[in-house]
Amino acid sequence: MTNLTILILFPLITAIAVLFCRNSAQIRWTALAGSAIQLILASLLMHSYYAERAAGNVSQMLFESRTSWYSALNIEYYIGVDGISVIMIMMTAFVVLSGILISWKIESLTKEFFFLLLLLSVGAYGFFISLDLFTMFFFLEVAVIPKFLLIAIWGSGKKEYSAMKLALMLMGGSALVLVGLLVTYFKTDIGNGVHTFDLIKISHQHIPLETQKLIFPFLFVGFGVFTALFPFHTWVPDGHSSAPTAASMFLAGISMKLGGYGCLRVATYLMPEGAQYYSSVIVLLATIAIIYGAFATLMQKDLKYINAYSSVSHCGFILLGIGMLTKTAIIGAVLQMVSHGVMTALFFGAIGMIYDRTHTREVEKLGGLLKTIPFVASVYIIAGLCSLGLPGFSGFVSEMTIFMGAWQRPDAFHRIATILACASIVVTAVYILRAAGKAVMGPITNSQYNELTDATWTEKSASVLLTFAVLSIGLAPFWLIDLITPDTQLIMENLARGVLGN
């Protein structure tokens, strides 16, 4: 499994195959088979990555391949993976497969729905494997059309408003990224005045401090919009709550991680001095997002809004981890990306299952679901416990790592930020337990709920799949940490080279 292009070609072929299917059963099975094989491919990739590293291959990126694309501008289709991208790909494959399983019952415009879902996943896979900034940007934007259409057509509530808001805010983020990338491009010189978009080459170039100070905010805020950086988080609650279940899973699970990955891989890695210069601003904004997200969640009465606002808070941890600029914190941030990806997908999956049956997401109207639909209700509780950071689940591991890393910064400012972020866990516990207690436990509030049927086999498999991911990260985090430590080390070395070095 050394040809990475197959990771984007395969979902693309699946998507095109879906277009040629004749009835909705065929469409569903094609999409399911395609994404299942994609999960196998991702596992194979992870396996061969381990094997390669165990064999002593120490190069920064593995399975690299390089094809000249627009040679006049020195744009290349340059791909390769390191540990961080491998686990992001793995996470994406999990979420995509379970998203397809969850949407088994989509009836209207089935073909378009699965086609767009698969196209969205192509964008994510492509983004995680590309090492050329232009290619990366291309894949970042590929997802715009599917996101907009998925929410606007199959969504609920004020779907048109949410879809437009999401598309425009994300496009605004990309516009900032674009400016940042172009300025970076014209500041590079790999001989004879030739510029480059090559991520690795740029990381060896010395971009002047002034430029870094100018450009870092563009790149970081641009990618930050994707990952709900305060105050650009407002698309998250509307977008997530209006989207159909699978799209919510994709958006929160995969799409928001593109931003975190970009903040780390592009902004922080390429602009080490810029990152140091703005570190306190990032920490400040991230802490606000964490606290604000947690308290805003307290006020929500709709299950999807609860999870959407808590996503703002949880993604704040990713940015906090990156902003702290210590090795442990950055490892924690990567873990949090993966953990939040699968956890929130599970959460939205459970909410979708509840909504499909009860046709309401209001906490007040729900109740006693554990008695009538025990499987769905348990899934919701598992996701909730993971979200509030119960040991044994993935949330605990990643948040704990971030706090440990953050505590390594001894000054008062960072300490206060860390303490505040830790304190938000209590608020998280309040809203999660309250929602679970009211909606899932307790007496049955509506007699119609007695007739509800429990999860179908597709919903069960999706839940089991994601629960497996959540638990394996929670119980054996050292696998992932071993995988990403060398790459984090490289990012740290680049940071230490900066003149502002700590």
Partner 1 sequence: MSNDFFILMRSELGIMLIIFFLLFLKVWDGITENKKILQIANVLLLVNFMLGFILNANGELFNGMFHTTNLINFEKIILNFGTLIISLQAYDWLKNHKHVIEFYILLLTTLLGMFFMLSSGNFLMFYLGLELASIPLAALVNFDLEKIKSSEAAVKMILSSAFASCIMLFGISMLYGTTGTLTFVELPHLITGGSLQVLSLIFVFTGFAFKLSAVPFHLWTADVYEGSPVAVTSYLSVISKAAMVFVFISILNPLFENMQLMWYNMLFLTIVLTITIGNLFAIRQQNIKRFLAFSSISQVGFILLGISSNSTMGVTASIYFLIVYIFSNLGAFSVIAIVSNETGKENINDYKGFYKTNKFLGWVMALSLFSLAGVPPTAGFFGKMFLVTAGASKGNYILIIIAALNMVVSLYYYLRIVKAMFVDENKEPITKVTGSTSVQIAIIICMAGVILTGFASVLYDYINSLM
Say if residue 217 is preceded by a cis peptide, omega within 30 of 0: no
The residue within the footprint of partner 1, chosen from 183, 190, 288, 464 (CB under 8 A), is 183
Nearer to partner 1, 229 or 373 (CB): 229
Nearer to partner 1, 187 or 460 (CB): 187
- 3-class SS of residue 391: strand
Residues 417-456 that bind partner 1 (CB under 8 A): none
- Which range touches partner 1 (CB under 8 A), out of 143-151, 323-331, 385-393, 423-431? 143-151
Is residue 144 close enough to count as binding partner 1 by CB under 8 A? yes
- Which range touches partner 1 (CB under 8 A), out of 138-146, 258-266, 317-325, 353-361? 138-146
Task: Please choose, from the candidates 336, 249, 240, the residue with its C-alpha nearest in 3D space to the C-alpha of residue 286.
Answer: 336
Token pair 């501008």 is found at 73
What is the nearest approach in angstroms of partner 1 to the Cβ of residue 168? 6
Residues 219-258 that bind partner 1 (CB under 8 A): none
What is the nearest approach in angstroms of partner 1 to the Cβ of residue 67? 10
Is residue 186 close enough to count as binding partner 1 by CB under 8 A? yes
What is the nearest approach in angstroms of partner 1 to the Cβ of residue 69? 6
What is the nearest approach in angstroms of partner 1 to the Cβ of residue 267? 17
Question: Which tokens in the block code for residue 120?
Answer: 């969205």
Residues 51-80 that bind partner 1 (CB under 8 A): 69-73
Report the distance separating Cα 355 and Cα 347, nearest Å. Answer: 12
Q: How far is CA 311 from the centre of its chain?
A: 10
Burial pattern 397-425, b for ≥16 Cβ within 10 A else e, equals bbbbbbbebbbebeeeebeebbeebbebb
The residue within the footprint of partner 1, chosen from 61, 145, 284, 422 (CB under 8 A), is 145
Nearer to partner 1, 185 or 277 (CB): 185
What is the nearest approach in angstroms of partner 1 to the Cβ of residue 386? 34
Q: Which DSSP string corresponds to 70-109? A: EGGGTEEEEEEE-HHHHHHHHHHHHHHHHHHHHGGG--TT
- Which range touches partner 1 (CB under 8 A), out of 89-97, 179-187, 377-385, 434-442? 179-187
Token pair 């983020």 is found at 173
Is residue 21 close enough to count as binding partner 1 by CB under 8 A? no
**191: number of Cβ within 10 Å:** 6
Token pair 């140091």 is found at 276
Report the distance separating Cα 499 and Cα 272, nearest Å. Answer: 9
Angle at 67 between CA 65 and CA 71, to 5 degrees: 145
Is residue 20 close enough to count as binding partner 1 by CB under 8 A? no
Is residue 164 close enough to count as binding partner 1 by CB under 8 A? yes
Is residue 149 close enough to count as binding partner 1 by CB under 8 A? yes
Site for partner 1 (CB under 8 A): how many residues? 33
The residue within the footprint of partner 1, chosen from 6, 17, 36, 153 (CB under 8 A), is 153
Token pair 């950055």 is found at 330
Is residue 148 close enough to count as binding partner 1 by CB under 8 A? yes
Residues 353-382 that bind partner 1 (CB under 8 A): none
Is residue 175 close enough to count as binding partner 1 by CB under 8 A? yes
DSSP 3-state percent helix, strand, coil across the chain (nearest 5): 75, 5, 20
Task: Please choose, from the candidates 244, 271, 422, the residue with its C-alpha nearest in 3D space to the C-alpha of residue 349.
Answer: 244
Instruction: Provide the binding-site residues for partner 1, judged by CB under 8 A.
Output: 69-73, 134, 137-139, 141-142, 144-145, 148-149, 152-153, 159-160, 163-164, 167-168, 171-172, 175-176, 178-179, 182-183, 185-186
